[in-house]
Structure 1
Amino acid sequence: MLDDLVYVRMNSLMMKKRGELEQKNMLPINLDNISVNDFEKSIEDVDKELKRLLDDVDDSIAEDLLFGASASFTESETQPPDFYVETLNLDTMFTPQVVVQGRAQCLGTDQDALLSHISSAPRFPSPSFQAKFERPSPETLQVTLTGAVRTKIDSEGADILVALYENGLLTDCPAGDNRGRVLSNDFVVRKMEKLCNIKDISAKKTVNGTVSFSLWDGFKSNKCGIGVFLQDRSFHTFGCQNLSLPQNL
């Protein structure tokens, strides 16, 4: 739905996994041995373990972790590969598939690394924004936010970013391994805007601002929400808040 990058080296487990994947990529592909069921089972195992892990933490932490990862995907659309190499201190050039709070990254298929990064991620208090939603026109959504970031911000400053996401998306797959299947996706970031930049403020100081989003065809407010989060110049995320949109906005 936005977010971060980090100064963390790839852990040895990820390097080992990547090496194995690169070796497999050099082998000829036998289509008769490819099993969609095996792939789906692996994804289901990760989803179940991730849900179990997030059930053990409070909502603010879960939101911070989930949106932190989402933001990284958004950055990957705009940043060149060498940017990741420098920022994440990688020793190989590739774009991470998952970045947790801008401080750790891994391949999305590496279950052990993914769950380890989530469980060890630093905890921050969620901002306490109140939101006012308006539709100045059928094509525009305006969001006014007022509240405290609940984290002291020094002279280096930080941006307050707002992501508009959509749940319940369905993708029909006419070809490929998932041919004939319909895949569902939640927390898909549709738009992201910067609310403001803040510097030298206390955790309790009130901040306010307004952002506007251009909407897409088929927009339905009951399927959408916004994620508000803080991000510094190093793309580290600290503090995230999830807000649902009103029904039939």
Structure 2
Amino acid sequence: MYSLKAVITSISLAGVLALTAAFISSYNGPAMKALQSPANDKGFAVVELFTSEGCSSCPPADELLQRLEKENKKGQLYLLAFHVDYWDHQGWKDRFSDHAFSLRQQQYADWLHLRTVYTPQVVVNGASECIGSDEGAVVRTIAGALEHSATDSLTLNGSINGREAKVTFQATAAEKDAVVVLALVQQSAQSRVRAGENEGRELSHVQIVRGLKTVRLEGNSDHAVSIPLPKGADQQNWELIGFVQHTSGGRITAAARYPLSAGATIPTVRND
């Protein structure tokens, strides 16, 4: 029997869904079969990659995220790259890093009962984690998440006005510990690393989180928030990803996205 990782490598990860058909005959796990099920159309996976330009083990994980982004035709994957800051003292400061992202990763260590944080790490739907460069483990974890439909709901609207994204949303959650997490995402960027473990490398990134806001849910009223754009950022290369998360253990129970562009009003996107 071929290993999952070997099959993924041989076909360059031709999308989580398309990938299944290629190796289903040799890998008969229930998660892989679930990807071909019509019921899978209702499943979703919020994939959070914790990474850093200062970490030599991270570029393969960044490249994997790019392949997932490129082949994500049906839209069930919500991809987020969080650049942590604890590598910044190793000789190269990652311009996308933010201490808030390191704190978010530490929160996952607490929720998932891990002894430490590390890069690259992938967390899926707030409930499962694996090494972000382990292609087989990442795909299996995503496949497991795609078996489950959203149990809460989220509706998003927004636009970019000037130097900030203005967002309105409605969300419902069955449990009282729910928050909505809103991530302002830069869809692509490149960096030439001039020091540290990746010195001399040209790195490409996708789905880079550049702003994060958490709003506690109170009833079913409309919520309105603003998220500033980073200094010097263009206004055309952005999207917003939002999801409902439960603070008692980190579970993510609904997600939605929409593209952002300067001066444009974004149509309602619903996931329920």
Bucket of the pairwise TM-score, normalised by the shorter protein:
0.5 to 0.7
Q: Scaled by the length of structure 1, what TM-score is found? A: 0.61
The Cα of 1:247 is off from its aligned counterpart by 4.0
Does the C-alpha gap of structure 1 residues 209 and 45 become closer, same or farther in structure 2, counting only changes over 3 Å? closer
1:237 paired residue number: 252
Greater RCO structure (CA 8 Å; 6+ sep):
1
Task: Identify if the C-alpha distance between structure 1 residues 125 and 142 changes in structure 2 by more than 3 Å, giving closer, same or farther.
Answer: same
Matches within 5 A, 1:56-67: 58-59=74-75, 61-63=76-78, 66-67=79-80
Distance change (3 Å), C-alpha of 1:120 and 1:222: same
Structure-2 residue corresponding to 1:189: 209
Q: Is this contact kept in 1: 2:190–2:205, CA < 8 A? A: yes
Aligned counterpart, 1:17: none
1:134-213 to structure 2, matched below 5 A, reads: 135=161, 138-139=162-163, 141-147=164-170, 149=171, 152-154=173-175, 156-175=176-195, 178-198=198-218, 207-213=221-227
1:174–1:45 Cα change, 3 Å: closer
Percentage of pairs with the same residue:
19
| CA drift at 1:207 | 4.1
Which residue in the other structure is 1:116 paired with? 140
Larger deviation: 97-106 or 187-196?
187-196
Q: Which amino acid aligns with 2:238?
A: C
The alpha-carbon distance between structure 1 residues 47 and 197, as it changes in their structure 2 partners (threshold 3 A), is closer
Higher mean C-alpha deviation, range 124-133 or range 190-199: 124-133
Larger Rg: 1
More helix by share: 1
Map of 1:132 onto structure 2 = 158
Q: Which runs of 5+ in 1 are unaligned?
A: 1-35, 200-205
The verdict on how the C-alpha distance between 1:190 and 1:169 changes in structure 2, with shifts beyond 3 A counting, is same
Q: Does the CA contact (< 8 Å) of 1:165 and 1:224 recur in 2?
A: yes
Q: What SS does the corresponding residue of 2:136 show, helix, strand or coil?
A: helix
CA distance in 1: counterparts of 2:62 and 2:167, whole angstroms? 38
The amino acid across from 2:241 in the alignment is G
Match of 1:77, SS?
Answer: helix
Deviation track 1:169-228 (CA, whole Å, cap 9, x = no partner) reads 1111224565443212111111111244145xxxxxx54111112332212221111111
Deviation at 1:133, TM superposition (A): 2.4
SS in 1 for 2:132: coil
1:159–1:198 contact (8 Å) kept in structure 2: no
Gaps of at least 5 residues in structure 2 are 1-55, 85-97, 265-272
- Number of residue equivalences: 190
Aligned to 1:78: 103
- Is the Cα–Cα contact under 8 Å of residues 72 and 99 in structure 1 kept in the other structure? no
Q: Name the CA shift for 1:54/1:211 in 2 (closer, same or farther; >3 Å).
A: same
Change (3 A) 1:178 1:239: same
For 2:246, give the aligned amino acid. D
Query: In the aligned structure 1, how far is the partner of 2:61 from the partner of 2:82?
Result: 21
1:101 Cα shift?
Answer: 1.0
Deviation for aligned residue 1:157: 3.2
Q: What is the correspondence of 1:1-150 to structure 2 with a 5 Å cutoff?
A: 46=64, 50=68, 54-55=72-73, 58-59=74-75, 61-63=76-78, 66-67=79-80, 70=81, 77-78=102-103, 84-90=108-114, 92-95=115-118, 97-121=121-145, 122-124=148-150, 127=153, 129-133=155-159, 135=161, 138-139=162-163, 141-147=164-170, 149=171
Change (3 A) 1:72 1:232: farther
Whole-Å Cα distance in 1 between the matches of residues 165 and 214 of structure 2? 13
Q: Which residue of 1 aligns with 2:237?
A: 223
TM-score of the superposition, structure 2-length normalised? 0.56
Q: For the residues of structure 1 that align with 2:68 and 2:242, how far apart are their CA atoms? A: 22
Shift of 1:104: 0.6
Task: Report the 3-state secondary structure (helix = DSSP H, G, I; strand = E; otherwise coil) of the residue aligned with 2:236.
Answer: helix
CA contact (8 A) 2:152 2:174 kept: no
